[in-house]
Amino acid sequence: MRFISLQRDGGCVVPGIVLRRDGVDVAVDVTHAANPPWCAALPADLLAWIETGLDALAARLDATAFADAACMPLAGATLAAPLPRPGKVVGAAFNFHDALRERGMPPPAAPVIFIKSGRTVIGPGQPVRLAADVGNVTYEAELGVVIGRTALRIDAAHAMDHVAGYLVVNDVSASDMVRADKAFVRGKSQPTFCPCGPWIATRDEVADPGALGVRLRLDGVSRQQGNTADLVFGIAELIAHASTQMPLDPGDIIATGTPAGVAIAHDPPAWLRPGSAMTAEVDGLGALHNPIVAEGKP
């Protein structure tokens, strides 16, 4: 099942799902008053749904007859980030073989991870805002993995049991800051630098997360074209390693790394500029569109 966060008129964000009806993807506001009474007892946000278990909830929601008033074409719905405020985003650097070859770097001996503030997250259609002093900024299309239950010092053999689902992440990064600091935190954690969405797909929706195309277009031009089969460290290895460094909690996101083709790899470099727009995609997980604007602009 595909889980979403819907933005109602007035800015209220409520959890929902995507269903296929008569050949059309439909967004369902599960909290709508016209739905069966049991829906009113559900928690009020998607993070709480993850904590209670998406798989069991999906089975029940799939069998529910939702009111027509609770449904709208997905194409006309306003979506927020599925998890507007995750506890944290754990990123993996240097984790695509093709990106390492592009940079002339050997693969790391162990996963290289960093923390990206959960407050950087924005949703589909929301703008990435560039402050004048951040320097050169790049896109980074990635497969995101949503943690479903707490993981602490687990091994790779059990890591996938802790996965709730998958989504698209665009790990926008201020390259000049990363280079100046020789560290990731400041350059990765600028406001609006983590577009996520458009939905969370449960594990049964993704046959093989280790064989998914990852793409990014900037102003309609293809800039990245990779596949998660090219990951240096796979999903289970990343989760296991991260869990030795910190607890992973329900709703945390693991950003698994980005393929070749980031901005500096192009001639001339394809740095993000106000007025541009980018689309990150992962096979089966939809397309995540975000415009770029200058800070302080609408």
Q: Is the pLDDT of residue 10 over 80?
A: no
Assess whether 130 and 107 both reside in one domain. yes
**219 pLDDT exceeds 90?**
yes
Same domain, 252 and 143: yes
Q: 194 and 111: one domain?
A: yes
- The distance from CA 7 to its chain's CA centroid, rounded to whole angstroms, is 17
pLDDT per residue over 43-90, tens digit each?
989 999 999 999 989 999 988 899 999 999 999 999 999 999 999 999
**Dist CA 215 CA 287 (whole Å):** 9
Total domains in the chain come to: 2
Least confident of 65-69, 96-100, 239-243: 65-69
Query: What are the pLDDT digits (tens) for 142-189?
Result: 999 999 999 999 999 999 999 999 999 999 999 999 999 999 999 999
pLDDT of residue 103: 96
User: Same domain, yes or no, for 180 and 47?
Assistant: no
Claim to verify: residue 114 and residue 218 sit in the same structural domain = yes
| Whether residues 217 and 101 fall in one domain | yes
Domain C-terminal end among 80, 111, 143? 80
| Distance separating alpha carbons of residues 54 and 49, to the nearest angstrom | 6
pLDDT at 217: 98
What confidence score (pLDDT) does residue 22 get? Answer: 85
Are 71 and 140 in a shared domain?
A: no
Of 80, 108, 132, the one marking the end of a domain is 80
* pLDDT for the residue 21: 87
User: Is a pLDDT exceeding 90 seen at residue 298?
Assistant: no
Are 254 and 191 in the same domain?
A: yes
pLDDT band at 121, cuts 50/70/90? very high
- Looking at the fold, whether 71 and 120 belong to one and the same domain comes out as no
Are both 41 and 156 inside the same structural domain? no
Q: What is the mean pLDDT of the chain?
A: 95
Given 26, 47, 80, which residue is the final one in a domain? 80
**Structural domain of 45:** 2-80
221 and 153 together in one domain? yes
Q: What's the pTM value of the predicted model, to 2 decimals?
A: 0.96
pLDDT category, 11, cuts 50, 70, 90?
confident
Residue 139 shares a structural domain with residue 272 = yes
CATH number at residue 160: 3.90.850.10
pLDDT value of residue 297: 73
Q: Where are the beta strands (DSSP E) in the chain?
A: 2-7, 13-21, 24-29, 71-73, 79-80, 88-93, 112-117, 121-122, 128-130, 137-138, 141-147, 163-170, 173-174, 194-202, 213-218, 221-227, 253-255, 277-282, 287-294
